[in-house]
Each structure stands twice: as C-alpha cells, then as structure tokens.
Homo-oligomer: A and B are copies of this chain.
C-alpha cells in the first residue's frame, strides 16, 4: 500500500501553479491581476484553487521495485506535482481539473546508485523514466503522459542529489549534483566566495541538471549567455551505462562530448553531476536606464553594443508595451536596461563608451539614473533603478500568473533568436502573425510585447509576452483553446520568419513541430541513432525532443502540444534510404 504522504523533503510546492504552496500575492500584485481582468473584460472573482482531493488518480500499474520501495512514492500530491511542468497549458489543465496522466510512481533517488538501479529496473520492465529536477519546464519537458507503449511511468526526482561535492578555488569551478536548485547551489558556494551567476527566471525552482539538459539562458545578456558556456564536464547515467566526460577548460578532440548532453532534455539519461565554471561575485557595477522614443533606434543601439566588445552583463531592450507589463515604464518609450559588472575592475571606461554609443543612437537618460557603484560585500542582491524594478517584476511574474490563469486569462511567453539583418521585419512579422491569431482566437485587440533578453554580435534573442482572454465569461477551457491556436501560430511564425523555435526554453513537447522544421531530418536521425546507443529500449523521457527509434510514443489527448506532428522520424523521412532502426 503506497504511502499517502509526500516523500519530498523540500518545502511543499504548489502542484497547480508556481512556487511554494503557501506563496501569497501582495496587494500590488493582487491589484495587477484585477487590472488585467478589467482591461480584458473578464469578471474578477476568487475562484477556488485546485485541491488534491478533487483529482482521482488511477492506482500505479506496477509495483515499485522492492529494494527501492522506500524511495518510491505514490502519494497523490507527489504524483500530481510530477504530472507536468509549469507552462500556461499545464496550469490551465490543473484549473480545469484535467491534468495529463500522472506518473505511476515518483522516485526520490537517494544517490546516483539509486538512479542507476532505477534505470536498470525501468529498462527491464518497460517503464518510462521522466527525469525531474525542479519541474519548471514551460514546454512540456517533464510530462508523465507518454502513451500506451510503456507498462508504467516513473518520474525520477533528483531533489536528494543537491550537493556541491567539490570546489576548486584555483580554477574556479565546482563539481555539483544535478538536482541542486539555484538557491541551494548559491548557498553552498557562498562560503567559498564563489558563484555560478546563472539566474534564469526559474532560478528558485530549477536545477543545475535541468539547466544543462535544456541549455538554459542565464544571467549574462552578452558573451556567455547559455549554461553551455559554463560546463567543464558532465556525468550522465544512461540505461546503457554511466557516461562521464573529462573535466577540461577546452578541447578540440572530436565533436565536443558535452554538447551532445547539453540540450538532450532527459532523452539520453539522467544528469547526476557536472563540473561548472564559477566566478567571484561582482564588486563593481555600472548601470544606466535609457529611453528610446523609436524602438528600432534602440535595437540599433543594442546591436552596436553587442558588436562593440564591451560585453555588458545586462543589455535588455524592452519595447513600449513590455515596459508596462514589467512595471518600469508607461508605454511611451522603449527602455534599455544596461549594466556592467566585474569582480576585478571599475567600469567607468566601459560604461562611458557604452553611453557614447547610446547617445549616437538617440538614446536619452537622466544623469541620476546612471549608477557606478562598489557593491557591498557579497552584494549579489545590490540592485537599484530600472534594473532592480525590472528584476523584481521578472521574478515575481510567475506568482501572479497563477490566479490570472484561473480567471480565464492566457498569459504566456515565447522566445527565439534571429540575425540582425532580418530583425526589424522579424519583429514586425511576429507581432502581426501572432497578433492576428490572438485576435481571431479572442475577438480582442492583441496585447503582445517584446524584450531582447540576450544579444549577440550577429543577432538578438527576442522574448515575447502575450496576454489574452478566452471568452467574456473568463472560461479557462476557452482560454486553453485560444492558447492552442495562438501557440501554434507563434511557433509557425517564428520558424517561418527565420528564428529558432527556442533560444533557452528547450523543445520539450510543445516546440516539436517547430524543431522538426528547424533541424534537418538527417541530423535528427543522427541524434536518434546516438540516443539508441544510450537508451536502447527508448525509456528516457519519451515524447520529448526526439522519438525513440522503433517505438510508438503517444501524446495523450489534453496536452497542449501546439501544431500537428508533421513527421515521424524514421518512418516518414525525406531520407527513407537511411535505415537507423
């Protein structure tokens, strides 16, 4: 008889929404939600939040392995918490009380050996394994509904693999377990005077392993932006054995091994450890908040900054509507949040030159909004001005999204990257295409905003936010239906106009239709063949990224996956003469 009590040792999570179970909104956040409902003309009310007892879960289809039983939970809260991630559709389905099928079991592996044992057991019993770090996926990356070809599904939670195992202060690197969440990692590194400085929006509820296998986007707006750039080595438990790469600062020996692990999204195995590069916390900061009356003049300025070699740590351009969503502007200007930081040197020369470029491109700023500061000791939290306001709004947004979803609003984001030569038309086309889809789906004028989150010398990473309603009654079902249409249009538009289907949110299930257009069939067949070596029976995170060879992976009804599946790898390929089965 499975226990009814969670085996998680962490503070309880909100299975139907973001963050801690006991999280509350402050008065201003509550007002924001209310304002949104007024603006979109849906009724505001206190809708009852989902409760565990409202969900009827089928019993596990298979007994837990005896030797590992103490680490296996079938508690309803655990199973609900692990049924999906935190995308808009995941939350809406919870409000509708129709989540995807939960895993039969949630396994809280005590250590790496338990991970090995669980994979051995799963492989022997045709059980699908969903690696689960912080569960913050917004693209269907941790969903447990994998279709009928598996005898059972286990969600493999890595919360107990949450330690910094070794610190090398000379090379500034640490060996860290894959299940370590952002705050855990920071806290354990702090006594060493070091930091990873990787702050995705999900920081509190995402893990190092999750960042690595999804190629998360981090703190830095320029230069090293993806976690990829901070990985020295990886250790992956696959069904075929443990795969550990050599810890190195760089190498030219064949295709980079870690680059096959980075972005594998749980389809090859479970990331149990990695050596990652660290830094000293910044001591010097310099920042400015800059207004542009013309958005594209701002984008040209960002391009000049990205091509200058000055490498600002923050270089985020918010379009006028985005400044309203973020609470840092009134919608009349584009705002550029520009910042430099260093543990080594004052930044006057850097900021000085950057502000010359700003003026050359028509940007304006108040002298009082230019800050040059020596950070307080351990001053990671030192923030002020637009940068501080923007960051606070950024981290709190997922919290107030929860009640908004329950009130029948669609709140979602999608992000991409494209080259500068096509950016202006890309931006306009995306807003036009997705805006039209929003108006078709909702009957209202579209609210779609954009910020540039990361910028490269050859192109920006635009991040779009959209807010809409389903119908005038605030029906969550209508909103979810509208979201499906909008998401499909967004994915199609991003691909059609020359972007990538994801800059740092991963592919998961939701972006597969775009991924299959973006990445050539031959390359996906090569990845599928590589996967087959590591995961011969196709048990690892089926449905995500790339299908196991010779295995039919169903995606059950009710999932929000956008777009028809255009292709089934290895069956309907343009390169039919290549047999990888």
Contacts and interface: CB of A to CB of B under 8 A. Distances in A.
Nearest to A224: B223
A264 interface: yes
A500 B248 contact: yes
Contacts of A170: 303, 419-421
A289 interface: no
A255 B262 contact: yes
Interface stretch (A328-336, A402-410, A452-460): A452-460
B533 A578 contact: yes
Contacts of A514: 253
A241 B419 CA distance: 26
Given A344-B309, A421-B168, A519-B253, A241 B575 contact: yes
A264 B253 contact: no
- Interface residues on chain A, size class: 35 or more
Contacts of A264: 254-255
Contact of A250 (B225, B244, B255, B257): B225
Contacts of A241: 522, 574-575, 578
A89 to B, nearest CB: 19
Given A241-B522, A277-B457, A575-B240, A252 B263 contact: yes
Contact of A254 (B265, B308, B529): B265
Interface in A473-503: 498-503
A105 interface: no
A140 to B, nearest CB: 14
A274 interface: no
A380 to B, nearest CB: 16
Given A253-B263, A263-B256, A419 B168 contact: yes
A309 B349 CA distance: 14
A523 B345 contact: no
B344 A310 contact: yes
Given A349-B349, A457-B277, A502 B252 contact: yes
Interface string A345-369: 1001110010000000000000000
B257 A523 contact: yes
Interface string A277-311: 10110000000000000000000000100011111
Contacts of A263: 252-256
Interface in A209-258: 214-217, 223, 225-226, 228, 232, 238, 240-241, 243-257
Interface stretch (A18-26, A128-136, A504-512): A504-512
A221 B460 CA distance: 26
A48 interface: no
B252 A506 contact: yes
A252 to B, nearest CB: 4
Contacts of A527: 254-255, 530
A532 interface: yes
Nearest to A523: B257
Contacts of A502: 251-253
B503 A252 contact: yes
Nearest to A347: B349
A545 interface: yes
A249 B578 contact: no
A252 B214 contact: yes
A173 B459 CA distance: 10
B578 A240 contact: yes
Contact of A226 (B252, B343, B534, B575): B252
A49 interface: no
Nearest to A239: B578
Interface string A522-540: 1101110111111010000
Given A533-B529, A534-B526, A505 B252 contact: yes
A240 B574 CA distance: 11
A345 B310 contact: yes
Interface string A396-430: 00000000000000000000011111000000000
A131 B170 CA distance: 42
Which residue of A226, A253, A263, A525 has the most chain B CB atoms within 10 A of its CB atom? A253
A393 interface: no
A215 B252 contact: yes
A95 interface: no
Which residue of A353, A523, A536, A546 has the most chain B CB atoms within 10 A of its CB atom? A523
Given A260-B526, A308-B344, A309-B343, A253 B420 contact: no
Nearest to A282: B309
Given A251-B501, A251-B518, A522-B534, 8 more contacts: A171-B458, A215-B252, A246-B518, A248-B417, A250-B461, A252-B263, A254-B265, A257-B519
19 contacts: A226-B250, A243-B523, A246-B518, A247-B498, A250-B461, A252-B502, A252-B503, A252-B506, A253-B507, A254-B265, A254-B546, A255-B527, A259-B259, A260-B523, A279-B457, A308-B344, A348-B349, A526-B533, A530-B530
